[in-house]
Amino acid sequence: MVRSRHGRTFGIASACMPVEAHALTEESDCPMSEFDVAADLNLAAGALRGLVDDEDRFRAWYDAFLAGDADSYRRILGKASALEHEDLLCGWLCSKECVRLCWRLCGPPRIDRIPEPRELAEVIVRLTSDEELLERLVQPVLELDPRAWQSLVNELELRPFCHLICHWVCRVYCRLRCERLDDTDGVLSRHLVDELAGAGPAIAALVADEAGFAEVSKAALAGRCELVKSVFDRLGLADRCRWICEFFCSWRCVRVCITLCRPFQVTEMDLSLTEAYEFGQAISRLSEQPEALAAVADAVEREDVDRFASLVKELGLERFCVQLCHWVCSWHCTLLCRCVCTPVLQPWFTHVGHFDIYADIDSGTGLTNKGLSFSGLYFNGGPGFAFQDCLELRGYCPAASPIDGTAMRYRFVLAGTSTPITGSRVCQVDAGSRVVSWPQNLSGVAGAANVSTFQTIAIAGAPTAEKPPPAPGDPWYGPDIHTLVPDPDGWVVVDPASISGGFTTLLGFDTTDDVPGGMPTSANPAGQTASPAPSGQDLGIVFEATRVAGPTSPPDHSNTLARVHISNWRELNLLDIQQFHGAGAGACSPITSALDVDYTADHEVMAAWSVAITSASPSAPGTVAGGTVPRGGFGTDHENTTGWQPCSYTASLSTRAALTTGLIDNQGYTTSKTFCTTGRG
């Protein structure tokens, strides 16, 4: 049995692929080898009804999927009473979108010869082992850029592999997209580049094992969960299972659908959302014909060309042949990979403070892209905030490796360098707790017996001494913080005694070492433009986790925050009163007829600034200048004070830069100068 993410349990139904097609063993040619794909397809078809009864709603739903807008996506599903089947519907969208995407990027697929899995694997290894090539592979998919895709395909002579590579990339992309849209699962969000970079070494390791590749290929194409799982376990591939399963699945679906849809071969395809809407309508009508859907699913799994063609004609779905086939095949693959690949919690870098490194930080600017509601984020930390000071880098690293159960270690490195975050670059954070044996507390006196006591685990840049336990009869005190210090290469070994089985707060990064800041100065006085006008710097942060006795290059696990903008400068806040200067003038001299307040407010991400003149007297004008435009403002406010009441007044300049640590927002500061007026000329 296998359970889907939306909680239903799937049974077993009859569906086998022909042994002749893949030279499988006799064992795989069985009548009870698959999941009940048809039942799921029928549920999905029924759920589509609430979306295709209104074309505007359907288009908004599809657009929300493409944009990764989880709120809009789920809200539309809720209005269509389809939220319960979100998983199935995202699978339908993925299959449809991958067909649209790959026809746009590649055009009609070649049907004369389909490369074998090993040929495709070798190409993927080449693409994913080169960082520049991988970026060029991903960019056209994310930006829907056929010209860039074709340039890469032609340059590397990948024309025979075009659809195979595209569907593989799209399958991984869609899994990540569905995880992001399903915000109830708490799934860690990953970037497509990082996910493909992780898949590459997994496929490379399998390619290097010729016998293992052949065995996995035979088992995966047989489509039997327990058989595939047993092969993966025997070859030690459990930790790389998902990537390998997706690879074989995407290859098989391209080959199967080219084969089954040859009788309906088309050289052009309508790639509009109108066509997608019409396909959705056609599928929704099939919910009234569950027997027909079951027959279609069986024909796809058996690769029965004649039966599939007959059903397509009977149902009037000739123009949707490719989409229909990919929908059926892709969902079967989804269930197979979920069954084979038992979920494991893998090491991953996920957040800077409260901000998800992929969902909440803009990859183009390195600034936050939204505000979040947490205590300490006084101004929601965004959007458009830069980061400052000590950053709490969060995620997960278990004490025991998901590969073989041995001890784990991790580190952070500045992207594009070999510089580890260690020593003075580390600020102290609490990583968790562990249980230690400690003298019992008998009303403030240490007892003779020891009991289990919690001890805080911290990670810091330098070691701290821990006091020994109090002797029996001495005043009782608890254990000091147990401090872990990254080694010179930045590695932190996860304490196996951690009560959570690992660390979720991984490190504190003191950014001031690499991006200095402080209180800025200006060569120009208040009232004039800031000179210089300092700015921060973009950094990238690479997370690496590996077994203590395992490889470091490449590590077992890695992902990257490609860009985060750091600014450790405070706001430039200059305020002066002209009447305080000159012969006979001074701060104690009353203002008579005129007041001139000079001000300069500057910061690269200024959130707000204002100049105000306040007093107990109603003569005070209040706010006289201000704004939110980066980088601030400068100038002189002139006031005629002839009619002002004699009183004490305060001129103030308040500034607040859009800065956050990810946990605490900058609250800004105010400079003030007091003066008094005589109230007469």
pLDDT tens digit string along 160-185? 999 999 999 999 999 888 888 875 44
3, two tokens: 């359970």
Mean residue pLDDT of the chain comes to 88
- Distance between CA atoms of 332 and 12, rounded to whole angstroms? 12
Which stretches does DSSP call E strand in 361-501? 386-387, 390-398, 408-414, 429-442, 445-459, 482-484, 492-493
Tokens representing 281 are 């309508």
What is the rounded end-to-end Cα distance, in angstroms, of the chain? 92
Rounded average pLDDT over 99-120? 89
Span 626-645, average pLDDT: 92
Q: Decide if pLDDT at 390 tops 70.
A: yes
Using alpha carbons only, what angle is made at residue 67 by residues 81 and 79, rounded to the nearest 5 degrees?
15
Residues paired with 564 in a beta bridge: 539
Q: For residue range 643-660, what is the model confidence (pLDDT) as tens digits? A: 899 999 999 999 999 999
pLDDT at 1: 30
Q: What whole-number distance in Å separates Cα of residue 57 and Cα of residue 50?
A: 9
Dmax (CA) of the chain: 108
- Top-confidence range, 129-138, 178-187, 423-432: 423-432
- What are residue 432's DSSP bridge partners? 457
Say if residue 102's pLDDT is above 50: yes
CA distance 308 to 264: 11
Which residue has 């592999």 as its token pair?
A: 161
Confidence grade of residue 83 (pLDDT, cut at 50, 70, 90): confident
Mean pLDDT of 507-519: 96
Lowest-pLDDT choice from 12-26, 549-563, 575-589: 12-26
| pLDDT in the model for residue 34 | 44
Beta bridge partners of 438: 451
601 with 642: CB under 8 angstroms? no
- Amino acid identity of residue 421, one-letter, is I
Distance CA 670, CA 656 (A): 9
Q: What percent of the chain has pLDDT over 70?
A: 92
Helix extents (H) in 107-184? 117-128, 131-143, 146-155, 162-181
Name the amino acid, one letter, at 290: P
pLDDT at 23: 30
The hierarchical CATH code for the domain 572-676 is 2.60.40
- Please write the tens of the pLDDT for every residue from 259-282: 999 888 777 788 899 999 999 999
- β-strand pairing of 594-603 with 631-640: antiparallel
Q: Which of 181-185, 233-237, 361-365, 541-545 has the lowest mean pLDDT?
A: 181-185
CA distance 571 to 658: 10
When mean pLDDT is compared across 219-223, 319-323, 452-456, the lowest value belongs to 219-223
> What would the mean pLDDT of 115-134 be, rounded to a whole number?
92
Cα gap 121→115, rounded to integer Å: 10
Least confident of 96-110, 189-203, 490-504: 189-203
Tokens of 107: 């055009």
Q: Is 305 exposed, middle or buried (0-12, 13-18, 19+ CB in 10 A)?
A: middle
Report the pLDDT averaged over residues 192-202.
86
**Rounded Cα distance, 491 and 472, in Å:** 38
Lowest mean pLDDT among 1-15, 469-483, 552-566: 1-15
pLDDT of residue 556: 86
pLDDT > 90 in the chain, percent: 67
Q: Give domain limits for the chain.
A: 2-340, 348-566, 572-676
d(CA 602, CA 634): 8
What local confidence, expressed as pLDDT, does residue 283 receive? 95
How far is residue 634's CA from residue 636's CA, in Å, rounded to a whole number?
Answer: 7
Q: Is the pLDDT of residue 409 over 80?
A: yes
